[in-house]
Amino acid sequence: MLKAKDFRMQAWNAKTGKWGTLALTAFVMAIISGLCSGLSVIGIGAIASLVITGPLTLGLVSQSLKVIKGENVAVGDLFSGFGRFLEAFLAHLLVTIFTALWSLLFVIPGIIKSYSYSMTFYILHDNPGMAANDARKKSMEIMKGNKWRLFCLDFSFIGWYLLSILTFGILIFWVGPYHRAAQAAFYKSITETTEAPAAKSENEVGEVSESAAE
């Protein structure tokens, strides 16, 4: 079973030649977030953030998966999620609402559920015809037994984020994409693991049916 260091290594190697593009994408994302914060002064910042966060998150996920798959990336990937605006918006809205409701019980249940829903946008990306709520439910399914593994992966980046503070936040434009690529590698790994047994079972059923027919 792959560990945090394995996903980090995959991400690091996959980002070769792409560091500049990914850092620029992170910088553009930071500018957009800053603009939303600025709009809070006139009372529409929260609304603007709610509307665009889903599509932008889907765009970042798309870019991260491209990195892991060895495909070319561009800053424009950040905005690719707007092509599926409704699904992305609803996915973000649902994840936010359900996480908030679980957090009302206590902080820990909210954190656990946030990990349950963490693969929602990856699933949405890989399944264009899937509804947002179905993607959320699928995320809960594939994250059973994997939440602690993802937590360990996220925690392993704490040193990088502390180092980013020492660089007055500048390093975050490289650390953020590195972290997202590692998460994409994690997603790729667990989906391959969960889909393989399912495919095997279908083949076995087919073989039994053929044997029965003979």
Mean pLDDT of the chain: 90
pLDDT tens string 92-125: 999 999 999 999 988 888 999 999 999 999 999 9
- Give yes or no for residue 179 having a pLDDT over 80: yes
H-assigned helices in the chain: 4-14, 19-39, 45-68, 85-105, 107-116, 120-126, 132-142, 147-155, 158-166, 172-213
Pick the more confident residue, 125 or 43: 125
- Give yes or no for residue 212 having a pLDDT over 50: no
What is the reported pTM? 0.87
Confidence band of 203 (pLDDT split at 50, 70, 90): low
Confidence band of 45 (pLDDT split at 50, 70, 90): confident
- Give yes or no for residue 206 having a pLDDT over 80: no
Residue 134 to residue 128: CA distance in whole angstroms:
12
pLDDT of res. 88? 97
Residue 167 to residue 125: CA distance in whole angstroms:
33
Residue 22 to residue 47: CA distance in whole angstroms:
27
pLDDT of res. 41? 64
pLDDT of res. 51? 92
- Give yes or no for residue 171 having a pLDDT over 90: yes
